[in-house]
Amino acid sequence: MKKIIVSFSLFFALTAFVSAQNFGSKITKKGAVSLSEMKKKMGSKKEMTTKVTAKIEDVCQKKGCWMNLVDNKGNKIRVTFKDYAFFMPKDAAGKTAIVEGIAMVDETSIADLKEYAKDAGKTKEDIAKIREPKRELVFEASGVILK
């Protein structure tokens, strides 16, 4: 009976380990909020250290160097990784991420917007339509948990 209990315990421990991966700095899920709650807390601040959880909408298909998160209310945010120190798996879309780092209001240049669109596989026509920089809420993650 002891062997069965030990086997089940080991199985569940391995399942938990495999089902969540850490990237960058090791973080925990404690204190993570939704994108809409983060936006509320941020208010008119230009920058805020926080932890957010949301579904991954898409990931850079070149190297995994950015991802877009979306919550169930349609709020979206682009996440890049601190010091370009780590990347996400290119097949992470549809999974849930917990990201810890800095949310900030920033202006994304036309060149960067076009590069993001290219990395996301947008058409040449869609990329050509990008003609103005975009002031937006972005996120620089120091650590990510992928579930």
Structure tokens at 104: 């900030």
- Judge residue 114's burial from the number of C-beta atoms within 10 Å of its C-beta, 0-12 exposed, 13-18 middle, 19 or more buried: middle
Encode pLDDT of 90-128 as tens digits: 999 999 999 999 999 999 899 999 988 888 888 999 999
Pairing type for strands 96-108 and 47-59 reads antiparallel
Enter the pTM of the model: 0.79
Report if residue 13 sits inside a domain: no
CATH number of the structural domain spanning residue 125: 2.40.50.140
Report if residue 64 sits inside a domain: yes
- Per-residue pLDDT, 120: 82
Q: How far apart are CA 60 and CA 118, in angstroms?
A: 9
- Per-residue pLDDT, 8: 42
> Into how many domains does the chain fold?
1
- Per-residue pLDDT, 116: 86
Q: How far apart are CA 81 and CA 65, in angstroms?
A: 7
pLDDT profile of the chain (147 residues), mean per 10:
46 51 95 94 94 95 93 91 95 97 94 88 92 93 97
Structure tokens at 117: 């669109």
